[in-house]
Structure 1
Amino acid sequence: MSTPPDVVDGVAISVTDDGIARIAISRPERMNALDGIASARIVAALREWADDDAIRVVVIDGAGGAFCTGADVVGIASTSLSQPEGLTDEQARDIIGGGTELARAVRAVRAPVIASVDGPAAGIGASLAVAADLVYATQRSYFLLAFINIGLMPDGGASMLFAAALGRARANEMALLGEKLSATDAFDAGLINRVVDDRAELDDLVTTVAGKLAKRSPQAVRLTKSALDAHTLAGLSAALDRELSGQATLLLTDEFQAAIAAFAGKSKR
C-alpha cells in the first residue's frame, strides 16, 4: 500500500508513476468548504499539470464524507464583518476571482479531469465537480447551487456548465430556487456520468476509469477533449467574466451583508 499524501493547507496532492494525478480536498471541519489558501493550492497544482505530457488524467476528490460544500462562508463573513463599511470592490473581486480561476484551471488541463463525488457538492463545489470531464458520484451525493440562498449568483462557470448539461429549464430551477439535485436525478438529467452505491464502489470505479485513460494515446485523448470543448464549452470564458462582475456586485449588497451576518451568528452557536 502506498503512503497517503500529506494534507497541506487542506489539500492532498499526489502523482503516480503512470501519470494519474490526484487532488483530495481535506477540510472535514468545514465539510471541505474552500478558503482562499486551499483554492490557491488546487489552482497551482492544476496549472502545473496543464501542459505536462507526463500527466495522463487528473482526479479531484473530497475526503471525509463531502466533496466540497462551496466557498468558506465563515472566512468571508470574518473579512466582511471585521470592516464597519463592509467589503471593498477590490476585496469582492478577489474573493470571487478564486472560484473563477479554479474553473479556468480545471478546463486548462489538457488531460481529462475526473470528479469523484461522495456527499454534497454545493456552491463552488458543484461548479468544480461539473467543470470536470467525467463525474461519478455515490447514491448519497447531491448537487446544490446554493448561491441564491445568501443573495448571490452562481459562479465558477456554473451558469453555463449546468445549463449546457441539464438544459435551460432544469438549470433555471436549480439556480433560481437553490434546491438540491440528488445524484440519481443528476444522472437521469445528464449532469453526471454514473451513480454507484457507496464510497468503496466509487473508488473502484474511478480507479478503473483513470487507469483506462492513462493507457490511451495521450495525444488522441487530448485532441478529443479539445474538440468536445470547442463545441460544448465555447462560451465558458464569457460566462466566467459575467459571473465575476455580477458576483462582485452582489457581495457588496445589503442583502448579502445581512445573510452573511446571520450565517456568522449561527456558526458561533
Structure 2
Amino acid sequence: MPPAAPAPAPTPEDEVLHRTDGGVSWITLNRPEAMNAVTRDQRERVIALLGAASADPDVRAVVITATGKGFCAGADLRGAPPGASAPTERVAGDVARMIRLGAQRLITAVLDCEKPVIAAVNGTAAGIGAHLALACDLVVAAEGARFIEVFVRRGLVPDGAGAYLLPRLVGPQKAKELMFFGDAVPAAEAERLGLVNKVVPGDALEETARAWAQRLAQGPTRALALTKQLVNASLDGDRAAALAAEAAAQEINMTTADAAEGVAGFVERRTPTYRGR
C-alpha cells in the first residue's frame, strides 16, 4: 500500500479561531500542544482581527482566550516562516527591528483597538503571553492560571511592552520584583496585585467572559473607545494634556447617536438602548 499522505499543515485560521457572536469578536489561540506559544502567522492574524474589530461597527467588544491548558507560553522562537533560513550575520538593529515589528505590534494592536478587549486567561501566560493578557482592558483568569515574567530565566530583557505595562499596573518596585526573579504569580495573587480583575473557577471562565463582553457590547461603544484612549494616555502625559484630551473626547462623543440616546433616556427616565453609533 502506498504511504499515507501527510496531514495538511495547519493554517492561521486553524491556529487562531475566530467567531463573532452577539456583537462580540472571539479570538482564540489554538495551538494547545505548544501551550499556545504564538507564531508569526498567529501574531499577524490576531493583529488583523483586532484591526477588523476596530473598523466594524457591528463589533462592540473583543475577547482573547485560548484552548487547552495554557493561555500563551510566549513567542514560539521556532515559528519562522516556511523557507526562511537563519541569517549568517546579525547586523546591529536587526533585533530591535524584529521586536518593533513583532511583539510590540501585537501589544500595540490590543492597546489601540477601538473596542474594549477582555482577556479570558485559561492557563499559564508567560513572557509575551503575559503581556498580551495584561494589555487587555479587563482580565478574567481561571483559578489555575499563572503569570510569569519568564525573560530573566532566558537571560533576556523583557520585551513586548512589559516594562511599560507592569509598572502602570503594580508600581515600579513590584514590577522589578516580578521581572528580576521571574517567579510564577498564581491567579489569586495576580488579582490581589491588580494584574487581574476577577478570578473564577476554570469551568466558569468562558461564561464570565461572555457576560462581561455582552454587557460591554450593549454599552455606548464610541464612549467606551474614547474612555479607553483617555485612561491609557493619562499614564503618559501631564495633567494639562489629560484634561485637554478629556474635553476633546467629550466634544467628539457628544456627536454620537449613543450620547443623544443616553441623555434622552435620563430625561425620559428610561433605560437607554445603545447601538454603538
TM-score higher than 0.5: yes
Q: Do structure 1's residue 228 and structure 2's residue 235 form an aligned pair?
A: no
CA contact (8 A) 1:139 1:197 kept: yes
CA distance in 2, matches of 1:234, 1:88: 35
CA contact (8 A) 2:141 2:187 kept: yes
1:16-55 to 2 correspondence within 5 Å? Answer: 16=21, 18-55=22-59
1:155 counterpart residue number: 159
Post-superposition offset of 1:13: 1.2
Q: Deviations over 1:176-229 (max 9, x none)?
A: 11111111111001111011122x211111111011111112122222222222
Runs of 4 or more, structure 1, over 4 Å off, are: 78-85, 87-91
The CA RMSD measured in Å over matched residues stands at 2.4
Counterparts in 2 of 1:209 and 1:234: CA distance versus 1, 3 Å: farther
1:188 counterpart residue number: 192
CA contact (8 A) 1:9 1:37 kept: no
SS at match of 2:71: coil
Q: Do structure 1's residue 15 and structure 2's residue 15 form an aligned pair?
A: no
CA distance in 1, matches of 2:237, 2:110: 15
CA contact (8 A) 2:135 2:165 kept: yes
Q: Do structure 1's residue 212 and structure 2's residue 215 form an aligned pair?
A: yes
Amino acid at match of 1:61: T
Q: Deviations over 1:29-70 (max 9, x none)?
A: 211001111101111111122233221100000111111000
Counterparts in 2 of 1:195 and 1:79: CA distance versus 1, 3 Å: farther
CA distance in 2, matches of 1:159, 1:15: 33
Post-superposition offset of 1:94: 4.9
Report percent identity of matched pairs. Answer: 35
1:1-269 to 2 correspondence within 5 Å? Answer: 8-16=13-21, 18-75=22-79, 82-83=86-87, 85=89, 87-89=90-92, 91-96=94-99, 97-198=101-202, 200-232=203-235
Greater mean alpha carbon deviation, residues 92-101 or residues 61-70: 92-101
CA distance in 2, matches of 1:168, 1:79: 42
Q: State the TM-score, normalized to the length of structure 1.
A: 0.77
Gaps of 5+ in 2: 1-10, 239-277
SS at match of 2:55: coil
Amino acid at match of 1:8: E
Greater mean alpha carbon deviation, residues 94-103 or residues 39-48: 94-103
Post-superposition offset of 1:74: 3.0
Q: Deviations over 1:95-154 (max 9, x none)?
A: 422111101111111110000001100010001000000001011111111112112111
SS at match of 2:224: helix
CA contact (8 A) 1:13 1:22 kept: yes
CA distance in 1, matches of 2:98, 2:185: 26
SS at match of 2:57: coil
SS at match of 1:176: helix
SS at match of 1:71: coil
Greater RCO between the two (CA within 8 Å, min separation 6)? 1
Which one has the largest radius of gyration?
2
Post-superposition offset of 1:234: 5.4
Amino acid at match of 2:232: D
Counterparts in 2 of 1:80 and 1:158: CA distance versus 1, 3 Å: farther
Amino acid at match of 2:182: G
Q: State the TM-score, normalized to the length of structure 2.
A: 0.75
CA distance in 2, matches of 1:34, 1:95: 15
